[in-house]
Structure 1
């Protein structure tokens, strides 16, 4: 049997004392070394790192996340590098399998299942799922680029990799809490990110990812007009560079149009997006919602049925939990109501709740229908 590979955890941190312990605890039995780059903590961050046996390197912050991460990569001695953020946590049951999964592997890069939580509380029904490149072989040229929302230089190291399907997704989950309100408010992420992104935007020949990340930031604070402006600029930028716009750009574009109630503006563009990414269930869900808003209930029902057929296990796209299950059933209920088919609507809402018992919109819709049914069966007082 081949020797177990050595894994280096690489992280950058600053004032992470409130969440760091949970992160390091989740991987302490997996990794062989922890390489932590501290960019100026004034709390107990460094002390917590050292309590786990981490090697902490001080680094002068240069307004560039990629450079800070690359500094850490240079210090790593493992065969493999796992990179994480302090506001993340690996599923401990999954972590026990990871080293065995890597034994004897010939690939150089792996995706890991990233689960992003949003809002005030951890709610599995509101989480977004995506496969993310978090584990790569050390010493073959992988580096981060972009000063913010840093990304691995996969195309440079693996130039023959033309399809995501060539990258294996390991059955390992990482939970990301950084988009929850508690974190975004406390760390003033929005102001910092906008400042760095606008600085990048001024550079000639900048990546169209910059416009996308700007759109994402504005989306989080529900500035829909700016979101729509920048996501469109990003799509144009990719096309002008003869690159296919990634699927999550279309997800953001059409979710924004739905948020502002612009069904007409979203049609027929959503059809073209689906032609490009026919396996992306979220786009089909948005198509059904747009059809529902246009009162095209019968076609919308067929679209939601297709969502149920697709399911939501394809995490190569950023996928909202429920897009291929309870959200589709909920919208089927709304369509049946629009058609005056009350019994079918009740059954659809019940199906949604069977999959997600705390889905408030389905609960409210079912209660409303129940109340209406009771009133209609009450004898008139004379």
Structure 2
């Protein structure tokens, strides 16, 4: 049976840290909390769960802080969580079973990260993360922002999930501020950093700048294929925001160089044609989204794109084409998935009024 060191970096997280550590107590044999400069009661709260609370001066480098936390681990495997993560009881049980069954030759255990939820608590954004790492393999974090340990060696994929449950928004400018400081200091961004820098620019409405970054990233031909597909999608968002819908469509179609059409891409193509009132073309792409299935090694999965969103948008398309029967049919299909969703309920009232 293996033992787990849980390693965390925190700062001003008194509103969520207790919730996270309460979950972790069930499976962590050692809890290490590294504080990067809290001014609230975070450290005192952490000390209620562990004596291993350390200080690390913040240097605008998440990888440096995480590597310091890993350096304090003493058990067989290291697990990391963010303060606003939650491990549900059923997943706690799966981790306990994993501790009994895990082959000690496994270097990396991948777990699901449920990073987005709808109004009813259903996961909408899911991807795999390197969550449990063999300490003797000396795993190292890389990247000041959106830090990562590239999976290595003997990798085990599991259906164990960690839920990212924010209570309040963080500093929306932090990541962009760090990236721009890195550039000002003369650092050359890695392909992965360039992708995330473009995304931060996009989030801040700097669409033209973001578009240039995404193009550079794609033209260089480096980086993870999942980031390339996402860059095509994000570039399309930027071009659409700049009123360049034809170019946005070209960016979406260019994603097919990297993988078969995915529902996320098909839904965005459908949305653009819907905005142009080209309903037949929109229907074609939303139907294509329904035919898509997530790939086994797909990085980022927006689950609603595979059924719920196409059903809702097909309802809209057919309603605008005057085919009320088919519009109602697709709304009912959406309702079967999410019977309490506000959009479905609105449509029910809309069709009843007609």
Q: State if a TM-score over 0.5 links the two structures.
A: yes
Q: Does 2:271 correspond to 1:274?
A: no
C-alpha separation in 2, matches of 1:312 and 1:336? 26
- Please say if residues 210 and 234 of structure 1, whose CA atoms lie closer than 8 Å, have aligned partners that are also in contact: no
Are 1:143 and 2:131 an aligned pair? no
Counterparts of 1:30-69 in structure 2, within 5 Å, are 30-69=27-66
Secondary structure, in 3 states, of the residue corresponding to 1:215?
Answer: helix
**1:116 aligns to what?**
115
Distance (Å, rounded) in 1 between the aligned partners of 2:260 and 2:325: 32
Q: Partner of 1:212 in structure 2? A: 195
1:226 Cα offset (Å)? 4.3
| 1:236 has 2:209 as partner | no
Q: Is 26-35 or 87-96 further displaced after alignment?
A: 87-96
The answer to whether residue 162 in structure 2 is matched with residue 174 in structure 1 is yes
C-alpha displacement at 1:98, in angstroms? 1.4
Residues 54, 322 of structure 1: alpha-carbon distance in 2 compared, 3 angstrom cutoff:
farther
Please name the residue that 2:128 is paired with: 131
CA drift at 1:126: 7.2
Which of these residues, 346, 365, 369, is aligned with residue 328 of structure 2? Answer: 346
* Aligned residue number for residue 183 of structure 1: 169
What is the rounded CA distance, in whole Å, between the counterparts of 2:347 and 2:206 in structure 1?
Answer: 28
TM-score by length of 2: 0.87
Q: CA deviation at 1:324?
A: 0.8
Retained in 1: the 8 A contact 2:110–2:129? yes
1:192-203 alignment, distance < 5 Å: 192-202=174-184, 203=186
The match for 1:380 is none
Q: Indicate the SS of the match to 2:40.
A: coil
CA deviation string 1:265-289 (max 9, x = no partner): 2223322213422263211222222
- Which whole-Å CA distance do the structure 2 matches of 1:70 and 1:259 have between them? 39
Alpha-carbon shift at residue 113 of structure 1 (Å): 0.9
User: Partners of 2:86 and 2:223 in 1: how far apart?
Assistant: 37
More displaced, 127-136 or 76-85? 127-136
Query: Could you say which residue in structure 2 is the equivalent of 1:292?
Result: 274
Contact 2:328–2:351 (Cα < 8 Å) also in 1: yes
Pair 1:261–1:339, CA change in 2 (3 A): farther
Map of 1:107 onto structure 2: 106
Local SS of the residue matching 2:304: coil
Size of the aligned set, in residue pairs, is 350
Q: How big is the shift at 1:71?
A: 0.9
For the Cα contact (< 8 Å) 1:79–1:138, is it kept in 2?
Answer: yes
Contact preservation (8 Å) 1:353, 1:362: yes
Shift of 1:45: 1.3
Q: Distance in 2 between matches of 1:269 and 1:306?
A: 18
* Aligned-residue RMSD, C-alpha: 2.7
Q: CA 1:174–1:365 in structure 2 vs 1: closer, same or farther (change >3 Å)? A: same
Distance 1:272 1:168, change over 3 A: farther
Q: What is the CA–CA distance in structure 2 between the aligned matches of 1:49 and 1:362, rounded to whole Å?
A: 43
Contact in 1 for aligned 2:116/2:126 (Cα 8 Å): no
TM-aligned CA deviation for residue 76 of structure 1: 0.5
Partner of 1:377: none
Partner of 1:308: 290
Distance 2:250 2:38 in 1: 50
| 3-state SS of 1:25 partner | helix
TM-score (norm 1): 0.82
Q: Matched residues in 1 for 2:212 and 2:343: separation?
A: 30
- 1:147 is paired with a residue of what secondary structure? coil
